Amino acid sequence: MTASKKIDVFISKEAIDKRVKELAEMINRDYQNQEIIIVCVLNGSFIFCADLVRYITVPVQIEMVSLSSYEGTESSGEVSFRLDVKQSLVGKNIILVEDIVDTGLTISFLLKHMKLKNLASLKLCSLLLKRARLKIEVPVDYLGFDIEDKFVIGYGLDFDGHYRELPYIGVYGA
Ligand code: IMP
């Protein structure tokens, strides 16, 4: 049973909150006097995105996309849309907000898709990056934490649908 496994805190609630605030400050500085659209990559980013946007002080709209690419603990490498943005993004400043870049395949697919939309600008904000796992170069403009190759859960991240509700980022204990 997943519920009985021991989970160790890997990144504390306090450390996450501090870093999320810092990321929002960078975004606020970079987009002074401009409007942005934050595109939350569901499902894993919903908590990060909700916390981040509450520190954003420039005018912001929030959209959601959902991609299917991941089952269990291994990325399948095949990506498709479950949900795409409905409004036109032409001429808009877009920031994709992702929970974690692992192999990079999912976000590369989305970046490629977004680049076709005649945007004013496109940036990527990811809470986590597992640099050692990258299979493709991914430009992360706003990065929360560069982490080692561990499977992490909590703060929106799941293992088979569980643990998203944890207020910290955790790893399975020994
Ligand atoms: P990628 O395409 O391999 O970069 O995978 C990206 C997606 O895989 C993320 O948006 C997560 O949903 C999921 N993922 C990757 N690593 C982890 C992890 O350590 N914990 C939970 N989900 C993960």
Q: What confidence tens digit (pLDDT) does each residue in 11-63 have?
A: 999 999 999 999 999 999 999 999 999 999 999 999 999 999 999 999 999 99
Q: Which one has a higher pLDDT value, 46 or 4?
A: 46
pLDDT at 1: 45
Residue 96 to residues 54, 108, 162: CA-CA distances in angstroms?
Answer: 16, 11, 24
- Give the mean pLDDT of 65-92: 80
- Taking the centre of ligand 1 as the mean of its atom positions, its distance from the CA of residue 165, in whole angstroms, is 16
Residue 50 has which token pair? 């909700």
Whether 73 has a pLDDT exceeding 60, the answer reads: no
Query: How many of the other CB atoms lie within 10 Å of CB of 65?
Result: 18
- With contact defined as beta carbons under 8 Å apart, do 152 and 169 qualify? yes
Q: Which atom of ligand 1 is nearest to the CA of 79?
A: 2
Q: If you measure from the C-alpha of residue 130 to the centroid of ligand 1, how many angstroms do you get, rounded to a whole number?
A: 9
- CA dist 3 and 19 (Å) reads 28
Provide the 3-class DSSP secondary structure of residue 68.
strand
Counts of helices then strands in the chain (DSSP H, E)? 3, 8
Among this protein's residues, is 146 annotated catalytic?
no
For residue 76, pLDDT over 80 is answered with no
More confident residue, 117 or 4: 117
Rounded to the nearest integer, the mean pLDDT of the chain is 92
pTM to 2 decimal places:
0.93
Q: Lowest mean pLDDT: which of 41-55, 65-79, 121-135, 137-151?
A: 65-79
Under the banding of pLDDT at 50, 70 and 90, the label for residue 152 is very high
C-alpha 139 to ligand 1 mean position (Å): 16
**CB–CB of 115/122 below 8 Å?**
yes
Give me the pLDDT at residue 132, please: 95
Q: Which of 67, 99, 105 to mutate to test the pocket of ligand 1 (most atoms within 8 A of CB)?
A: 99
Active-site choice (51, 84, 102, 158): 102
Q: 14-149, what's its fold?
A: Rossmann fold (3.40.50)
Contacts of residue 113, Cβ cutoff 8 Å, sequence gap at least 6: none
Evaluate: CB of 154 within 6 angstroms of ligand 1: no
Question: Pick from 68, 69, 122: which is nearest to 96 by CA?
Answer: 122
Alpha carbon 121 to its chain's center: 18
pLDDT for 174: 66
Atom 17, ligand 1: residue with shortest CA distance: 151
Confidence of residue 71 (pLDDT cuts 50, 70, 90): low
Residue 165: pLDDT over 90: yes
* Residue 77: per-residue pLDDT: 61
